[in-house]
């Protein structure tokens, strides 16, 4: 195998890991603070939304990689995999929502939607790649 990373790929990883690390730190800190001090009002809003900020940063990091990757075949694979990721996520969430509506399955927290997308996006990549082999 051995697929050396493109310069854009290296930049992606150099941005991705700090963003994920800050997500873990911010999430734990926010939960701990809310549990310990039971803040109310604007502070609760700020602490509540805080873990979303590094997740949004990860989304931006993925978008930047898409724009910066100059290798056209890798871009093709990424774009097609992302389309699969979007399609699968929308389909799953729509079906889940209707089932939730009739009360046969529990509520699905929306903050996990991005994780579902990442999973589908990642799983699609080897299948998309295989089409060109």
Partner 1 sequence: MKNRLKVLRAERDWSQADLAERLEVSRQTVNALETGKYDPSLPLAFKIARLFGQSIETIFQDEA
Please identify, among the stretches 40-48, 73-81, 82-90, 104-112, the one whose residues bind partner 1 according to the rule CB under 8 A. 73-81
120, 85 contact by CB (below 8 A): yes
Contact residue for partner 1 among 14, 56, 71, 115 (CB under 8 A) = 71
The number of CA neighbours under 13 Å toward the Cβ of 131 is 10
Contact pick of 50, 74, 86, 116 for partner 1 (by CB under 8 A) = 74
CA distance 6 to 70: 8
CA 33/CA 79 separation, integer angstroms: 39
Q: Which of residues 113-132 bind partner 1 (CB under 8 A)?
A: 129, 131-132
In angstroms, give the least distance from the CB of 114 to partner 1.
Answer: 27
Q: Mapping DSSP to helix (H, G, I), strand (E, B) and coil, where does residue 95 land? A: helix
Nearer to partner 1, 30 or 125 (CB): 125
């Amino acid at each position: 195998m051995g697929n050396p990373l493109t310069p854009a790929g290296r930049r992606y990883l150099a941005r991705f890991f700090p963003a994920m690390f800050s997500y873990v730190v911010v999430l734990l800190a926010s939960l701990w603070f809310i549990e310990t001090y039971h803040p109310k009002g604007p502070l609760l809003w700020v602490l509540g939304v805080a873990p979303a900020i590094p997740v949004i940063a990860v989304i931006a990091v993925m978008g930047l990689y898409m724009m910066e990757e100059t290798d056209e075949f890798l871009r093709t694979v990424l774009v097609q995999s992302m389309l699969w990721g979007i399609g699968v996520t929308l389909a799953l969430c729509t079906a889940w929502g209707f089932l939730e509506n009739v009360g046969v399955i529990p509520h699905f927290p929306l903050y996990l939607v991005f994780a579902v997308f990442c999973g589908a996006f990642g799983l699609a990549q080897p299948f998309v790649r295989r089409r060109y082999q």
